[in-house]
Amino acid sequence: MDRSQTIARISGCYIPLPTLFRDGDFELNLDGMRRHVRFLLDAGVREGNGVFLVGGGAGEFSTLSTDERLRLLDTVLAEAGGLVGVVLGAQSTDQREAVRLARGAKAAGAVAIQAAPPFYHPPTDDDVFEWIAALAAADVGIVFYTTYWTGYRTSLEMLGRLADVPQIVAIKWASPSYHEFEQGLRHFASRLAFIDNQLHFVFSHMLGARGVNLHPSNYWPAWGVKFWELLEARRYREAQDEMTRVVSPYYDLCDEVARFTGGEGHIDKLCLELVGLDSSRCRPPTRDIRPQFRERTRKMLRDCGRI
């Protein structure tokens, strides 16, 4: 694995693809996944302005088997045709499963895996470091995904340790401390591809972040491409206006849905339905949001100019 080349491929809108199922039996809808990838490519998503994440949180990794995740990866890679880098979510509480996913991603040609610290039993820094070392043995790029709401909070010291692991190519991060987030960017953005999961997209890009975790790109990829162009051109006032117009209403709706059910990906999939693409409900235990939120979601899309 060439670290510098891998880092260069992880740039732009980090697009968390929702996993599409067949209504009724919850089996994978691989044809729908292919159509979604083609929709993104047709709108101009390419390496440099976008990256595809398969089987992440919004991809419902916690409800997918290892084989299903690898089938999804093969499907997306084949449809992407090398035009966009593809990252496989390898989150797990079983190191054996995570290692199998890392090896499978390497063999299939993924640009990287997304690896998070184990969850449920909050680990120590040394636990996490040994976990990452086991995945790094597969010699595949690793996007280290760390958020404070999953039970483990990554310190700046720990980021420094991880930055010395050759296979770590990116940090996808959210911190409860604005100052800590700024420090992390200041210290490490020159060494790794920082992916903002904090919703401070303009600020983080100013400090060197190379990616933004952007759900609206799923249902409005042309807008995402233009948004990244604004950031790269340092037209920050315009970019912030677009955040207010498109991204903030999406997360306002997320807050509403969170009072009804858990999970991720459900709003993305409902938006896909409303713009005429394949969609589905999420697998249980996430409940079906469509009857309660279809019209509210339609209004959000209309108000921001998507439909």
Residue 91 lies in a domain: yes
pLDDT tens readout for residues 254-296 = 999 999 999 999 999 999 999 999 999 999 999 999 999 999 9
**Range 19-37 average pLDDT:** 96
Residue 145 lies in a domain: yes
Domain limits for position 53: 3-234
Residue 54 lies in a domain: yes
Residue 4: pLDDT band (50, 70, 90) is confident
pLDDT at site 199 = 94
**E strand or H helix at 6:** helix 3-9
Residue 254 lies in a domain: no
Residue 122: pLDDT band (50, 70, 90) is confident
Residue 141 lies in a domain: yes
Residue 120: pLDDT band (50, 70, 90) is confident
Among the residue ranges 49-53, 177-181, 241-245, 259-263, the one predicted with the least confidence is: 177-181
Query: Residue 220 maps to which CATH number?
Result: 3.20.20.70
Strand intervals (E) in the chain: 12-16, 50-54, 85-89, 112-115, 142-147, 168-174, 193-196, 211-213
Tally the C-alpha atoms within 13 A of residue 100's C-alpha that lie toward its C-beta.
12
Residue 176 lies in a domain: yes
Residue 302 lies in a domain: no
Is the pLDDT assigned to residue 149 strictly greater than 80?
Answer: no
Residue 62 lies in a domain: yes
The count of structural domains within the chain is 1
Please state, rounded to an integer, the average pLDDT across all residues of the chain: 95
